[in-house]
């Protein structure tokens, strides 16, 4: 793990506001470890390694993973006919947006904040954006297509809680 920090794969961000806890998130190709100012990474290497191992077990964070997932969701729910021109992770989505589709170009952008969610949650977001390739507004017809993924309503609840958790962890 210390080598990963040295290679820039893990960025340590120390905060005077953070008193006891550590947090790990993924931002595109870099893990971010948020710690209190006086936290010793070296002293806590074993528990941090366990934390990173748990996170990476749920990781589906490369752009290639997104392309593969979009292809799979298109085949499974739309007979392969809804395919984006491109799909990739981005860091510029605001806190209330999980993904976006540019219907004129067929490009889909997914917030890096979703890199560590369970796969079924990411699937529902991708299905939602694939539908936008065909239907722009959130109409009844749109929701009928998006709801082909059986966990669409579960994912909505998950993402509401996830968003609340992000809001809470920012201290707002």
Domain boundaries, the chain: 2-57, 63-169
Taking the C-alpha atoms of residue 61 and residue 26, their distance in angstroms, rounded to an integer, is 8
Pick the CATH number of 63-169 from 3.30.2010.10, 3.40.228.10, 3.30.830.10, 3.10.450.50: 3.30.2010.10
pTM: 0.67
| CA–CA distances in Å: residue 141 to residues 73, 134, 136, 146, 148 | 18, 10, 10, 9, 11
Taking the C-alpha atoms of residue 153 and residue 118, their distance in angstroms, rounded to an integer, is 15
pLDDT of amino acid 53: 67
Taking the C-alpha atoms of residue 97 and residue 159, their distance in angstroms, rounded to an integer, is 10
Residues 111-147 have pLDDT tens digits of: 988 987 888 999 999 999 999 999 999 999 999 999 9
Please check the confidence at residue 167 and state whether its pLDDT lies above 70: no
Please check the confidence at residue 170 and state whether its pLDDT lies above 60: no
Average pLDDT value over all residues in the chain: 86
Residues 60-104 have pLDDT tens digits of: 668 888 999 999 999 999 999 999 999 999 988 877 789 999 999
Please check the confidence at residue 160 and state whether its pLDDT lies above 70: yes
Taking the C-alpha atoms of residue 15 and residue 37, their distance in angstroms, rounded to an integer, is 5
């Amino acid at each position: 793990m210390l080598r990963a920090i040295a290679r820039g794969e893990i960025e340590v961000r120390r905060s005077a506001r953070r008193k006891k806890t550590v947090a790990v998130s993924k931002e595109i190709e870099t893990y971010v470890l948020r710690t209190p100012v006086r936290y010793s990474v070296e002293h806590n290497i074993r528990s941090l390694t366990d934390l990173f191992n748990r996170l990476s077990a749920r990781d589906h964070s490369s752009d290639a993973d997104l392309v593969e997932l979009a292809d799979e969701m298109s085949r499974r729910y739309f007979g392969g006919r809804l395919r984006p021109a491109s799909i990739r992770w981005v860091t510029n989505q605001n806190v209330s947006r999980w993904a976006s589709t540019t219907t004129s170009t067929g490009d889909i952008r997914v917030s890096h904040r979703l890199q560590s969610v369970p796969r079924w949650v990411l699937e529902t977001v991708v299905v939602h954006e694939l539908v936008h390739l065909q239907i722009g507004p959130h109409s009844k017809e749109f929701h009928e297509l998006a709801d082909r993924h059986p966990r669409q309503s579960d994912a909505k609840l998950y993402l509401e809680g996830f968003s609340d958790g992000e809001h809470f962890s920012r201290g707002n």
